[in-house]
Copies of this chain bind each other. A is one copy, B any other.
């Protein structure tokens, strides 16, 4: 994603206005590696600007996505995640804590389906699922019984 200043210029040049709400969201996303959901961003935003509405957060995120300044990630659990990193990259998702990490994968862009030669590829995405270092370490300390109990009903945030 571009810097808040650049986004400001870009917004204005499109006939859009630079509101305090948008400025706040730009700054919260800048260099943000947390792949936030709309809701979580709203949480942080509210702390700095009480009264800002969730609707506005969604709106601005969608605008940025339309402008190609954000990528949408759907991991099938909880809501859509927004990724301000628009360079080519892929994701590693921890199945325990749910954290998403941006990763780079050598050779990813040259992957091709063996079958489906007639498919015109415009984009290749690679997703690793597994355990992040923290959860791996923590997991090894857990009793097998506890591990079993915890994996019974993942009962994640929702969806």
What is A's interface to B at a CB cutoff of 8 Å? 72, 74-76, 80, 90, 92, 94-95, 101, 103-108, 111-116, 118-133, 136
Contacts and interface: CB of A to CB of B under 8 A. Distances in A.
Q: How many identical chains are in the complex? A: 2
Given A74-B76, A105-B114, A107-B107, A131 B127 contact: no
B125 A130 contact: no
A95 B136 CA distance: 36
Contacts of A133: 118-119
A75 to B, nearest CB: 7
28 contacts: A74-B74, A92-B119, A101-B119, A103-B114, A103-B115, A103-B119, A104-B113, A104-B115, A105-B113, A105-B114, A106-B112, A107-B107, A113-B128, A116-B128, A119-B128, A119-B131, A120-B130, A120-B132, A121-B129, A123-B128, A123-B129, A123-B130, A124-B128, A124-B129, A125-B126, A125-B127, A125-B128, A125-B129
Given A103-B113, A121-B128, A123-B128, 9 more contacts: A92-B116, A104-B114, A106-B112, A111-B126, A119-B131, A120-B130, A123-B129, A123-B130, A125-B129
- Kindly name the residue among A92, A106, A108, A133 whose own CB sees the greatest number of chain B CB atoms within 10 A: A92
